[in-house]
Amino acid sequence: MDLELVRQLAQESDSKIVLFVMDGLGGLPHPETGRTELEAAWTPHLDNIARDSSCGFTIPVGIGITPGSGPGHLALFGYDPLVYTIGRGVLEATGIDFELQPSDVAARGNFCTIDGEGKITDRRAGRIPTEKCAELCAELQKIKLEGVQTFVQPVREHRFVLVLRGDSLSDEVKDTDPERLGAKPLAAEPSGQGGAATAALVNRWLGEAQKTLAGCEPANMLLLRGFARRPDWPSMPETFKLRAAAVAHYPMYRGLAKLVGMEALPVGPALEDSIATLRENWGRFDYFFVHYKYTDTAGEDGDYDRKVEKLTEVDEAIEGITGLEPDVLMITGDHSTPAIMASHSWHPVPFMLRSKWGRADVCESFNEVALLQGCLGTFPAKEALPLAMAHAGRLRKFGA
Amino acid sequence: MDLELVRQLAQESDSKIVLFVMDGLGGLPHPETGRTELEAAWTPHLDNIARDSSCGFTIPVGIGITPGSGPGHLALFGYDPLVYTIGRGVLEATGIDFELQPSDVAARGNFCTIDGEGKITDRRAGRIPTEKCAELCAELQKIKLEGVQTFVQPVREHRFVLVLRGDSLSDEVKDTDPERLGAKPLAAEPSGQGGAATAALVNRWLGEAQKTLAGCEPANMLLLRGFARRPDWPSMPETFKLRAAAVAHYPMYRGLAKLVGMEALPVGPALEDSIATLRENWGRFDYFFVHYKYTDTAGEDGDYDRKVEKLTEVDEAIEGITGLEPDVLMITGDHSTPAIMASHSWHPVPFMLRSKWGRADVCESFNEVALLQGCLGTFPAKEALPLAMAHAGRLRKFGA
């Protein structure tokens, strides 16, 4: 649903909505057993919920599109990920919980290796350890430029974030990464009318940075990509009329939630921490996004058995959420991460929604085969929140 | 399908299409029996048709969106209800079968109560009886303004319609309803460039109306909303190349049908009246919209048992339609009205289409669970007519 239409139809209510996301939930059949991770896992509680829910699958971004974590989550938050895109620099800053101000410009940085002629020989500087990255960022942080404040923060291995803070900065600056070996790093150039001053500033900083990094092989130079400003999107509280909270431990998901106007609650890494935080804050919010990371991690590691274990772990804990009796409970993933692929994938994601106003179907368990009997069919993930709003009595009638 | 594409592909034929709409058809499981109204109803004839049809569900406006009667029907007529919207004033005029001319401007009126200081104390004038409303409208009808003709017609309880007829009127006039108690009714103000003259006219009329209503407590003032002109839409005969007739008793549905260029045939309130009218006019049209209201009325009243009865009533009479052997028969609703909700809802609507060119599925009966096996899946209601056109040999091939 278009956000402008959501804004017109949304109404307040005292109902509560919970979105429980098992990251990378969807799977594929194991070649030996023919069973997906969800089929193999012992999940009596989730199966019970499925029997009592409207079931189906979501498509996070589009048919055949493998989503990153950003688009996968934004869709579940009701934001069309093809419309609400986030610049690379902002995503990277968000991922390390850096509090971007509206006028900041962020870029993603890579340390790289250049030879004596200044030509790139390794675009990732041999994937230096994260500790080394942090050390070099601390050195780069010492660079002072007139009229602008700079922040240089490590991410992981060769990756870092550069944030410029100052008046009248522009994000209309092109990448300095030529994206091929044997070429020299590019100077920053404006990509649009307003970018000239900021590009010049970036070039002054690059000059200083190159001096700082001289002799630090393999990380003796750097490349900048994805200059971007924090997006100014319609906020969830204002658009959906929901006081929304994120119960997520990892910075990336907290950051995404904050970009759409959720309050990111402090929470530990374990599922029981999430459930405790949910319980403690139950009265304060209308909508809770609860994030569980470890299904995805296991999937990404190609560890089928561990993904099955993690699903079982969720099953054993899920009563901590159902016991709160939300008016609408959605259980789904942000995308599929089949262990046999050891990566994110484009496959539709198992989804179930429980509410007293839900239509019945004949799904007897929560897995990729049983849910084919679901009454929701396969639908865009961005419609999940409007659907939940309807079931929660939070959407007015359209037209008379 | 986009109407421009329909126009390009539509071709004439001597085939006949019937759309039979059971208003508010879709339901939800009864909490005691777990069965929906359609599951509970004894409908051997509808079940037989389902076995011989392509089945599925329609989404009237969008996922999670609860449609009013207007959008629900427009979608079934092939018009995207998010694109083809109707102003409140026009919808209200349409609902009482008022023949709007293209240059007329219509507004919805509410009688209201004001106190000695002119502040609103009841926005609905205590919901005066319809007879009282008619009486007051007759008084207001006596107001004469220079250069414009006015029509004041009762709707129901405190609601009426004001229509202005004259040269160069504009619908760019803001509501006079402040939408809160304790405020005074607003003066009419232009909402756009062309609205100043019409707003001034409305204000002169409001001044006279206030004098007329003085002392008529609780209906001693009125509020106007939704100034609008009759929409100028592509017509069904021209776009779909269908001579189209509406067999509907209630003014709202007749009016909607006329807005898209159908001929509204005179018909009595009972289903047998509709079937008689259909039979009598069978040779004159290519497409018939047959409307059955009472499933919705029962649903809106929260009367599960009566809705079940009404479904059975339809089942017993349906051979009057199938006996005419339309080339394509669609049986569906304009939206769901689950009796347990006692209101319209967002749930997808049962749909079946019978034609000799239909693909088979394994639906053994016509209800919300059996139709999940349907070959049409869940699709936007606005695609129903193009789908029927295809089955009726009325859509040319696209591309060579």
- For residues A90-107, give the mean pLDDT: 91
Residue A400 has pLDDT above 80, yes or no: no
Task: Compute the distance between CA of residue A243 and CA of residue A261 in angstroms, rounded to an integer.
Answer: 9
User: Can you read off the two tokens belonging to residue B224?
Assistant: 């106007």
Q: Which residues pair with A112 in a beta bridge?
A: A221
Of the candidates A373, A379, A396, which has its C-beta nearest B372's C-beta? Answer: A373
Cα–Cα distance list, A221 to A122, A182, B87, B373 (Å): 10, 14, 62, 61
Between chain A and chain B, how many beta carbons pairs sit less than 8 Å apart? 83
pLDDT digits (tens, 9 = 90+) for B146-196: 889 999 999 989 999 999 999 899 999 999 999 889 999 999 999 998 999
**List of residues 6+ apart from A99 with CB closer than 8 A:** none
Any chain B CB within 8 A of the CB of A372? no
Q: Whose CA is closest to B381, among B63, B17, B15, B85?
A: B63
Task: Compute the distance between CA of residue B158 and CA of residue B155 in angstroms, rounded to an integer.
Answer: 8
Please, which pLDDT band fits residue A88 given cuts at 50, 70 and 90? confident
Residue A202 has pLDDT above 80, yes or no: yes
Tell me the chain A residues in contact with residue B73 when contact means C-beta distances shorter than 8 Å.
none
Q: Is A224:A209 a contact under the CB 8 Å cutoff?
A: no
- Residue A140, min C-alpha distance to chain B (Å): 50
Tell me the chain A residues in contact with residue B378 when contact means C-beta distances shorter than 8 Å.
376-377
The nearest alpha carbon in chain A to B66 belongs to A397
Residue B59 has pLDDT above 90, yes or no: yes
CA B8 to chain CA centroid, nearest Å: 27
Q: Whose CA is closest to B290, among B52, B16, B15, B22?
A: B22
Residue B134 has pLDDT above 80, yes or no: yes
Which value, in Å, is the radius of gyration of the alpha carbons in chain A?
23
Q: Do A361 and B369 touch (CB under 8 A)?
A: yes
The nearest alpha carbon in chain B to A390 belongs to B64
**Could you tell me the pTM of the whole model?**
0.90
3-state secondary structure of A43: coil
Any chain A CB within 8 A of the CB of B28? yes
Task: Compute the distance between CA of residue A164 and CA of residue A174 in angstroms, rounded to an integer.
Answer: 15
Q: Which residue has the tokens 């919901």?
A: B127
Residue A156 has pLDDT above 90, yes or no: no
pLDDT digits (tens, 9 = 90+) for B298-320: 999 999 999 999 999 999 999 99
Q: Do A400 and B91 touch (CB under 8 A)?
A: yes
Q: Do B68 and A397 touch (CB under 8 A)?
A: yes
Q: Do B28 and A373 touch (CB under 8 A)?
A: no
Any chain A CB within 8 A of the CB of B375? no
pLDDT digits (tens, 9 = 90+) for A253-277: 998 999 999 999 999 999 999 999 9
Task: Compute the distance between CA of residue B175 and CA of residue B285 in angstroms, rounded to an integer.
Answer: 41
Work out the end-to-end distance of chain B between its first and last CA atoms, rounded to an integer number of angstroms: 19
Sequence-ordered alpha helix ranges (H) in A77-128:
88-95
Q: Is B226:B175 a contact under the CB 8 Å cutoff?
A: yes
Q: b/e for A136-148, b at 16 or more Cβ within 10 A?
A: bbeebeebeeeeb
- For residues A290-295, give the mean pLDDT: 97
Task: Compute the distance between CA of residue B378 and CA of residue B376 in angstroms, rounded to an integer.
Answer: 6
- Residue A347, min C-alpha distance to chain B (Å): 19
Task: Compute the distance between CA of residue B121 and CA of residue B131 in angstroms, rounded to an integer.
Answer: 22
Q: Which residues pair with A224 in a beta bridge?
A: A109
pLDDT digits (tens, 9 = 90+) for B65-105: 999 989 999 999 999 999 999 888 998 898 888 989 999 99
Give CA torsion, residues B169, B174, B175, B178, to 10 deg: -150
pLDDT at B88: 86
Q: Is A150:A141 a contact under the CB 8 Å cutoff?
A: yes
Cα–Cα distance list, B122 to B128, B135, B157, B217, B221 (Å): 11, 20, 14, 11, 10
pLDDT digits (tens, 9 = 90+) for A321-342: 999 999 999 999 999 999 999 9
The nearest alpha carbon in chain A to B87 belongs to A399
- For residues A284-291, give the mean pLDDT: 98
Of the candidates B36, B346, B368, which has its C-beta nearest A390's C-beta? Answer: B346
pLDDT digits (tens, 9 = 90+) for B324-378: 999 999 999 999 999 999 999 999 999 999 999 999 999 999 999 999 999 999 9
Please, which pLDDT band fits residue B111 given cuts at 50, 70 and 90? very high
Is residue B266 packed enough to be buried (19+ CB in 10 Å), middle (13-18) or exposed (0-12)?
exposed
Of residues A136 and B400, more confidence is placed in A136
Q: Which residues pair with A160 in a beta bridge?
A: A109, A154
ipTM over 0.95: no
Q: Is B271:B292 a contact under the CB 8 Å cutoff?
A: yes
Tell me the chain B residues in contact with residue A59 when contact means C-beta distances shorter than 8 Å.
none
Tell me the chain A residues in contact with residue B347 when contact means C-beta distances shorter than 8 Å.
359
**List of residues 6+ apart from A343 with CB closer than 8 A:** A66, A299, A300, A337
User: Can you read off the two tokens belonging to residue B48?
Assistant: 């037989």
Q: Provide the 10 A C-beta neighbour count for residue A271.
A: 21
Work out the end-to-end distance of chain A between its first and last CA atoms, rounded to an integer number of angstroms: 19
pLDDT at A361: 92
- For residues B7-34, give the mean pLDDT: 97
- Residue B2, min C-alpha distance to chain A (Å): 19
Average pLDDT, chain A: 96
DSSP B96: T
Q: Provide the 10 A C-beta neighbour count for residue B144.
A: 10
- Residue A9, min C-alpha distance to chain B (Å): 9
**List of residues 6+ apart from B29 with CB closer than 8 A:** A359, A360, B35, B36, B39, B340
Average pLDDT, chain B: 96
pLDDT digits (tens, 9 = 90+) for B190-219: 999 899 999 999 999 999 999 999 999 999
Residue A97 has pLDDT above 90, yes or no: no
Tell me the chain B residues in contact with residue A360 when contact means C-beta distances shorter than 8 Å.
29, 34, 36, 368-369
Of the candidates A377, A390, A397, which has its C-beta nearest B378's C-beta? Answer: A377
User: Can you read off the two tokens belonging to residue B6?
Assistant: 């329909």
Of the candidates B28, B36, B67, which has its C-beta nearest A399's C-beta? Answer: B67
